Structure 1
Amino acid sequence: MHPCDCGAAAGPLGLCADYYNAILAEEQRDPEMYRWHAVVVCVYLLQHPSRGLQKFLDSQYRMLQFFVEQDLDALIRLQAHQVARNSHRSRSGYDLRPLEPYAPLPAGGPPERFRASFCGLPYGDDGFVSDGHEAYGHRMRTLAEMTEEAWKNLGPGTPGGG
């Protein structure tokens, strides 16, 4: 099978899209796994930007940096804040101020390769958490860190998401 858009070789489940879709399906049955949903989406779209919308990549990159610097609980609080502000009753829209301190998406991307990809995730009889949720969380953090590293290695970003 040909390498994935992100440069990774296919794994036992196929390309990264196959892993991503399997993770999304498994998250629906596992609330603890679902806590990592925003990280999964940001990593996947930053590693495969042709699958998302260019106008959102900068905020996804900043959100990924927020997560790497802070932690999952801080990201979940940020998401809850955004959802509350974006409700039909509030009408105040997203609050991007918490993401302003983070570097904009570097120009010249996407990176050709990432040191970790979805195709490298282990998958067992119990899915992606066959060795436990803590191990799954460590793998998601590694994916996030390696994605951030690859983009940062491209150089500085441009305000507004290059």
Structure 2
Amino acid sequence: MTDSSSMSQCDCGAIAGPLGVCVDYYHGILAEEQADPQMYRWHAPVVCAYLLQHPSRAHEKYLDGQFRQLQLYVDKGIDALLRVAAHQVARNRRGTQSGYDMAPLAAYAPLPPDRPPGHFRATFCELPFRDGSFVSDGHLAYGHRIETIAEATVESWRSAQA
């Protein structure tokens, strides 16, 4: 546990879990996924959801793209998001242009200009961590939990603009 785990509430509004606040869970996930290629499939939605739930830890100029990526993931699933990521990597390798190709994300709503939501129905603090792992009950179950967090993140941001 880090020093932040001594707090009882995270800046996203979540109550700290057994590992601490969301940043403790986030760092744990990032460390574990480095050794687990199956778990790493959910890296992009983990990063996007974490930063959108904790925008003070993000670079503001990237939040719109992260919000659109998360909407794509919620709408079409992990395989669609991975295809967009592969397209971007291939585009960058060819040296086509600098910057991110937003065309695959154009159908999705921009990040609302309002201040960030203060509460999410699902957060990282709620993720189960058993036997030293976030995937102790399988990768599919882990993926479903990340999808729930992603849905809750998109839902709260959309509600904040209403």
**Structure 1 equivalent of residue 147 of structure 2:** 141
- The answer for the alignment partner of 2:37 in structure 1 is 31
Give the match for residue 77 of structure 1: 83
Moved over 3 A (4+): none
How far apart are residue 154 of structure 1 and its match?
A: 1.1
Q: Write the letter of the residue equivalent to 1:123.
A: F
Query: Aligned-pair RMSD on alpha carbons?
Result: 1.1
Show CA shifts across 1:58-112 (max 9, x none). 010001001111110010010011111122x424232111111110111222100
Q: What stretches of structure 2 of length at least 5 have no aligned partner?
A: 1-6
So what's the TM-score if we normalise by structure 1?
Answer: 0.92
Distance 2:62 2:47 in 1: 12
Q: For 1:9, give the aligned amino acid.
A: I
Listed one character per residue, the Cα deviations across residues 34-80 of structure 1 (whole Å, up to 9, x for unaligned) are 00000000000000001110000001000100111111001001001
Structure 1 residues without counterparts, runs of 5 or longer: 157-162
Aligned length: 155
Confirm or deny: 8 A CA contact 1:114 1:146 kept in the other structure.
yes
Alignment partner, residue 56 of structure 2: 50
Q: Could you say which structure has the higher helix fraction?
A: 2
Q: How big is the shift at 1:126?
A: 4.4
Partner of 2:120: 114
